[in-house]
């Protein structure tokens, strides 16, 4: 029964990831309309998304500490409430600077309350099939461009951006708050750490290591640097896919569908690379995904027509969607998810 409830936590994490990331990235769909109606530059609006990424990463440290102390449920519930608040206040912003601060700060912080705590919680629920469980949570985030983005596209075609943003805030509250109540800590016996000998053999942190020691470890530094450059590489194309496609002559809905295709193939990539991580080890799967991502991002330079956009979106979505859950799989474990360090 305990293991079965772990899959409930996986499902809850997938739904919350979908809504949290989807609402945060609704700005990608709203950006052309917002720039035209407000006179704010697309570069300035892109900065707001950059702030979202930065704040999400920094806030994850605080949310992670709160998860360790109080458990994941109050953390994700607080994130759900904060997300709706951030979107609502953003819809009332009267200047670009105000929008950047409110959207980037509040929405970024709230998204961080879902991603890291849920990834950490799910890994504690599983001894076997950990990579696929984490990939399923991440797959929820991959579904966001297929669900929230088309909804955002429909809203912006029928209403102004302020009404559309407020509507998404209400939808986020309605869905996230009850789903957050389903989240539970993993049972203590399922999240017990490895003994020092097993940890050393797996190349992971030994029990009793302090946060400071972990942050200074070579494994953490290499993993953090890889994650930083990986996200830095694909965040630009993701943020500006819709705007770039519109600039190339595509309609807003066609450009949104290109972005949605990235999400669809990202979902497939999460599952594909999750199985690969379980079978062959995380490190080889991650390296293959990063090489594929680099190739896809480079191809955007030559992309102009709708068919080309679809082809590149398929490749980029498969790659960046596939590598994201693999970072979360490296933890003290006897499963096939551990060998990132080998």
On average, the pLDDT of the chain sits at 81
Least confident of 29-33, 61-65, 217-221: 217-221
pLDDT of 76 > 90? The answer is yes
pLDDT of 212 > 70? The answer is yes
Mean pLDDT within 231-247? 79
pLDDT of 252 > 60? The answer is yes
pLDDT of 172 > 60? The answer is yes
What's the Cα-to-Cα distance from 309 to each of 157, 203, 231, 255, rounded to whole Å? 22, 41, 20, 9
In the prediction, which pLDDT does 329 show?
A: 62
pLDDT of 218 > 70? The answer is yes
The residue ranking higher by pLDDT, 187 or 102, is 102
| pTM score of the predicted model | 0.71
Tell me the HSE value of 329 on the side-chain side, using a 13 A CA sphere. Answer: 37
Number of domains in the chain: 1
Helix axes 130-158, 108-125, angle to 10 degrees: 150
CA distance 239 to 242: 8
Cβ–Cβ < 8 Å for 40, 166 = no
pLDDT of 85 > 80? The answer is yes
**Residue 2's pLDDT band (cuts 50, 70, 90):** low
Mean pLDDT within 119-145? 76
Mean pLDDT within 81-93? 94
In the prediction, which pLDDT does 211 show?
A: 66
Residue pLDDT, tens place only, 174-211: 999 999 999 988 877 655 454 444 444 434 445 556 66
Residue 31, phi then psi, degrees to nearest 5: -55, -50
pLDDT of 336 > 50? The answer is no
The residue ranking higher by pLDDT, 118 or 259, is 118
CA distance 141 to 14: 7
In the prediction, which pLDDT does 189 show?
A: 60
Least confident of 95-99, 217-221, 306-310, 324-328: 324-328
Mean pLDDT within 127-132? 70
Reference 165, options 309, 22, 10; nearest CA is 22
CA distance 30 to 124: 37
CA distance 136 to 124: 15
Mean pLDDT within 314-340? 63
Percentage of residues in the chain having pLDDT higher than 70: 87
Q: For 199-230, b where at least 16 C-beta lie within 10 A, e where not — what string?
A: beebebbbeeeeeeeeeeeeeeeebeeeeeeb
pLDDT of 338 > 70? The answer is no
Domain holding 126: CATH number? Answer: 1.20.1250.20
Burial class (CB in 10 A: 0-12, 13-18, 19+), 24: buried
**Cβ-based neighbours of 186, under 8 Å, separated by 6 or more:** 6, 9, 121, 124, 125
Domain that holds residue 261: 2-341
Percentage of residues in the chain having pLDDT higher than 90: 25
Mean pLDDT within 24-34? 88
């Amino acid at each position: 029964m305990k293991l079965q409830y772990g899959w409930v936590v996986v499902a809850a994490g997938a739904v919350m990831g979908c809504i949290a990331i989807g609402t945060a990235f609704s700005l990608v769909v709203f950006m052309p309309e917002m720039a035209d109606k407000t006179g704010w530059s697309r570069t300035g609006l892109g900065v707001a998304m950059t702030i979202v990424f930065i704040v999400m990463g920094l806030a994850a440290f605080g949310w992670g500490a709160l998860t360790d102390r109080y458990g994941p449920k109050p953390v994700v519930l607080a994130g759900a409430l904060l997300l709706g608040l951030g979107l609502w206040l953003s819809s009332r912003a009267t200047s670009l600077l105000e929008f950047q601060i409110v959207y980037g700060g509040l929405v970024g912080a709230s998204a961080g309350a879902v991603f890291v705590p849920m990834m950490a919680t799910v890994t504690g629920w599983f001894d076997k099939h950990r990579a696929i469980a984490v990939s399923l949570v991440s797959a929820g985030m991959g579904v966001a461009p297929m669900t929230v983005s088309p909804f955002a596209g429909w809203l912006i075609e029928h209403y102004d951006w302020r009404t559309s943003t407020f509507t998404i805030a209400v939808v986020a509250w309605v869905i996230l708050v009850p789903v957050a109540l389903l989240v539970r800590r993993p049972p203590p016996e399922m999240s017990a750490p490895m003994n020092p000998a097993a940890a050393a053999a797996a190349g992971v942190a030994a029990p009793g290591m302090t946060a400071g020691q972990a942050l200074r470890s070579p494994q953490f530094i290499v993993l953090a640097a890889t994650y930083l450059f990986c996200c830095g590489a694909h965040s630009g194309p993701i943020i500006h896919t819709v705007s770039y496609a519109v600039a190339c002559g595509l309609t807003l809905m066609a450009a949104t569908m290109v972005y949605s295709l990235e999400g669809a193939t990202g979902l497939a990539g999460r599952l594909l690379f999750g199985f690969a991580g379980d079978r062959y080890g995380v490190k080889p799967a991650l390296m293959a995904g990063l090489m594929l991502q680099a190739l896809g991002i480079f191809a955007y330079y030559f992309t102009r027509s709708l068919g080309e956009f679809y082809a590149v979106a398929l490749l980029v979505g498969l790659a960046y969607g596939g590598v994201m859950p693999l970072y979360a799989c490296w933890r003290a474990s006897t499963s096939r998810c551990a060998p990132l360090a080998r």
